[in-house]
Amino acid sequence: MKALICTKPFQLDYIDIPEPTIAPNETLLKIERIGVCGTDLHAYEGTQPFFNYPRILGHELAATIVQTDAAGFHAGEAVTFIPYFNCGQCIACKMNKPNCCTQINVCGVHIDGGMRPYLKVPSNSLVHGNGLGFDELALVEPLSIGAHGVKRAGVMPGEFVLVIGAGPIGLGTMEFARIAGANVITMDINDTRLTFCKNNLGVKATINPTTENVLEQLQVITNNDMPTVIIDATGNLPAINNAFQYLAHGGRYVLVGLQRGDISFNHPEFHKRESTLMSSRNATRPDFELVIQSMKNKLINPTTYITHRTKFEDVKDHFSSWLNPSTGVIKAMITV
């Protein structure tokens, strides 16, 4: 079968690989949809931490079970899966934080992913589709990233939450901040994406830092209190460093986005606020279940994020264009 492999930065190649065979506690999946995320794009351009080449990309996946020994699952069932394979033995796993396992293998990052027709996964990673379509199932993982970030922040009803970055991860973060009862503020340098947030997510307050004074706008929006929660979904170092000044006293700053460099901030400014800084890595099964239930209950409709579609055999021709914001891409979806 053909797989699409990122051989080195800015190079994708179709290669022939054998179809997988499974052992006990493994499931064989037929891949149906592949969502393209920032991790894939950053790997392609050579800016993704925790990454080695060559690598088969793809971890936002919807699939049909071909063969499984997982209790409660059956062949022909539409599923997604949790693509963060953990050891079960380390300190993080013992604390019920498998999403930051010390030996974690993320599908499509540390190990080869799903840009191929068939993939084997640990049977304990399967997640029931509960009647959702393939497009929706391929969006569960990125939405779970946002849901986990909101959970990490402990967002409370009525809080002002500033989400920086209106890509797919940021959109999911906004959705679950809204569901938690927050007043969501969106910041991005792309006016098209800000308009999308207003029209499709009901975000009332948006800021473009290239054309507006961010501090002044935040003071107006929050009645001079400033946001009590900031969640970065950009992975952009200047954006991450700049955002410390926007945080309310007593506030929490959560880094969902990831970049290679060192963050820096003024210690007295951070200290006087008694600020909390935390990272948010991957997601957990309860996050996946929350996302699926939110879709079932029509609290979110993430299929509106899909702006570009292509067939698996055409991905190599289109992939580089998805790095260009001028194409209007929010979420590209691949049909296998």
129 and 184 share one domain: no
Residue 128 domain-assigned (yes or no): yes
Q: Do the beta carbons of residue 81 and residue 61 sit within 8 Å? A: yes
**Residue 272 predicted with pLDDT over 90:** yes
| In-domain check, residue 313 | yes
Q: What is the pTM of this model?
A: 0.94
With cut-offs at 50, 70 and 90, classify the pLDDT of residue 324. Answer: confident
Q: Look at residue 68 and tell me if it is in a domain.
A: yes
Specify if 100 maps to a domain: yes
pLDDT for the residue 281: 97
117 and 238 belong to one structural domain: no
pLDDT given for residue 179 in this prediction: 97
**Residues 161 and 266 grouped into a single domain:** yes
What CATH number did the domain enclosing 319 receive? 3.90.180.10
- pLDDT score of 102: 97
Q: Are residues 154 and 86 in the same domain?
A: no
Angle between helices 191-201 and 168-179 (to 10 degrees): 30
List strand residue ranges (DSSP E) for the chain, in order.
2-8, 11-16, 26-36, 55-56, 60-67, 78-81, 84-85, 105-106, 118-122, 126-128, 160-164, 183-187, 205-207, 229-232, 252-255, 276-279, 306-311, 331-335
Q: Across the chain, what does the average pLDDT equal?
A: 95
Structure tokens at 58: 């793809």
Q: Inter-axis angle of helices 285-296 and 140-153, to 10 degrees?
A: 110
Return the pLDDT at 128: 97
The pLDDT, as a whole number, for residue 223 is 97
- pLDDT tens digit string along 109-134? 999 999 999 999 999 999 999 999 99
Percent of the chain surpassing pLDDT 70: 100
Mean pLDDT of 223-251: 97
Helix (H) or strand (E) holding 196: helix 191-201
> pLDDT grade, residue 89 (50/70/90)?
very high
Burial class (CB in 10 A: 0-12, 13-18, 19+), 174: buried
Residue 162, φ and ψ in degrees, nearest 5:
-95, 120
Query: Is residue 171 a part of any domain in this protein?
Result: yes
Is 325 a residue whose pLDDT tops 90?
no
Check whether residue 268 and residue 306 sit in a common domain.
no
The HSE-up count of residue 161 (CA atoms within 13 Å, CB side) is: 33
Q: How much is the pLDDT for 141?
A: 97
pLDDT of 148 strictly over 90 = yes
- 296 inside domain: no
Q: Which helix (H) or strand (E) holds 242?
A: helix 237-242
Q: Which two tokens stand for residue 41?
A: 């794009």
Tell whether 130 and 174 lie within a shared domain: no
Query: What pLDDT does 328 receive?
Result: 87
pLDDT at 60: 97
Task: Give tens-digit pLDDT for 35-65.
Answer: 998 889 888 988 877 788 999 999 999 999 9
109 alpha-carbon distance from chain centroid: 13
Regarding whether 130 and 16 lie in a shared domain, the answer is yes
> In this structure, is residue 285 part of a structural domain?
no
| Tokens 């064989």, residue located | 28
**Alpha-carbon span 95 to 291, nearest angstrom:** 23
With 0-12 / 13-18 / 19 or more C-beta atoms within 10 angstroms meaning exposed / middle / buried, residue 190 is middle
Could you give the number of structural domains in the chain?
A: 2
Q: Is residue 293 part of a domain?
A: no
- Considering the domain architecture, whether residues 236 and 331 belong to the same structural domain is answered as no
Query: 182 and 307 share a domain?
Result: no
Which range of residues forms the domain containing residue 204? Answer: 146-279
Looking at residue 196, its amino acid is: F
Q: Mean pLDDT over residues 223-231, rounded? A: 98
Residue 258 pLDDT > 90, yes or no? no
Q: What is the CATH classification number for the domain harbouring 168?
A: 3.40.50.720
Pairing of strands 84-85, 78-81: unpaired
Average pLDDT for 181-194:
96
204 and 131 inside one domain: no
Tell me whether residue 16 is exposed, middle or buried, using C-beta atoms within 10 angstroms of its C-beta: 0 to 12, 13 to 18, 19 or more: exposed
257 lies in the same domain as 319: no
Residue 326 pLDDT level (bands cut at 50, 70, 90): confident
How much is the pLDDT for 46?
85
276 pLDDT band, cuts 50/70/90, is: very high
What was the pLDDT predicted at 259?
84
Q: Tell me whether strands 26-36 and 118-122 are parallel, antiparallel or unpaired.
A: antiparallel
**pLDDT score at 48:** 77
DSSP helix, strand, coil percent of the chain (3-state; round to 5): 35, 25, 40
Q: Using the structure block, give the residue that is written with the tokens 């029931």.
A: 128
13-42: pLDDT as tens digits = 999 999 999 999 999 999 999 999 888 988
* Contact predicate 222/162, CB 8 Å: no
Residue 51 near residue 4 (C-beta atoms within 8 A): no
Say what the pLDDT of residue 260 is.
82
User: Is the preceding omega at residue 18 within 30 degrees of 0, hence cis?
Assistant: no
Specify whether 9 is located in the same domain as 134.
yes
